[in-house]
A and B are shown apart, each in its own frame.
Chain A
Amino acid sequence: AAGVIQSPRHLIKEKRETATLKCYPIPRHDTVYWYQQGPGQDPQFLISFYEKMQSDKGSIPDRFSAQQFSDYHSELNMSSLELGDSALYFCASSFWTGKRYEQYFGPGTRLTVT
């Protein structure tokens, strides 16, 4: 079965640079979520989109922005990168029917800021 695709899988950037992470949800899924997981920490919700509109916002820094496109893929844009942004970034997708349905996670993008 098709899974959530994230690219790139690994990314190395320097401080103050920008990074763009991409997420391709499972076909027919209309909701995308972004999570950040720092070293030794639990995943933290950043932001989500339903039908290309932002639906929820978590602890996402102002330096980060995201959007969902007409083909439902999503991009997380990160600017003025800091050392503390080094983390695993997971994208998840789900099909929203008004019930609390499961989210399917991608393999993650490991971002290292040097």
Chain B
Amino acid sequence: DAKTTQPNSMESNEEEPVHLPCNHSTISGTDYIHWYRQLPSQGPEYVIHGLTSNVNNRMASLAIAEDRKSSTLILHRATLRDAAVYYCILPKTGNMLTFGGGTRLMVKP
């Protein structure tokens, strides 16, 4: 998988927006950008994915830079339940996921 770089940790206040960055400068033209999160004591959970255009779903928004070398996961109003490790992943062959270097998001009440 193409290498991704994310901050180790971030803090947010409850009910405020959160912008989680991810750098993927070696991304290829066919690489999709996936975001997963893992809440404490739970399995990973799919959040969102995109290729070139910005994407929105009920959980979050994904903003993709024009050159695709970076992306930002946006949580519009963080809740305590959003405290988790967020992984930015660019799956390759077979869609297997390589987890590593995610961002631990802490949400303060």
Contact = CB atoms under 8 A, between A and B. Distances in A.
Interface residues of B, number: 21
Interface string A68-104: 0000000000000000000000101010100111111
Contacts of B32: 99-100
A5 to B, nearest CB: 12
B96 A44 contact: no
A1 to B, nearest CB: 13
A108 interface: yes
B95 A100 contact: yes
A104 B93 CA distance: 18
A56 B93 CA distance: 8
Contacts of B44: 35, 43, 90, 92, 103, 105
A101 B45 CA distance: 13
A103 B42 contact: no
Q: Which of A33, A45, A99, A100: most chain B CB closer than 10 A?
A: A100
Contacts of B102: 42
B43 A90 contact: yes
Interface in A23-48: 31, 33, 35, 42-45, 48
Contacts of A58: 96
Interface of B: 32, 34, 38, 42-46, 49, 85, 87, 91, 93-100, 102
14 contacts: A33-B95, A42-B85, A42-B99, A43-B44, A43-B99, A48-B94, A56-B94, A58-B96, A101-B49, A102-B46, A103-B46, A103-B97, A105-B43, A105-B44
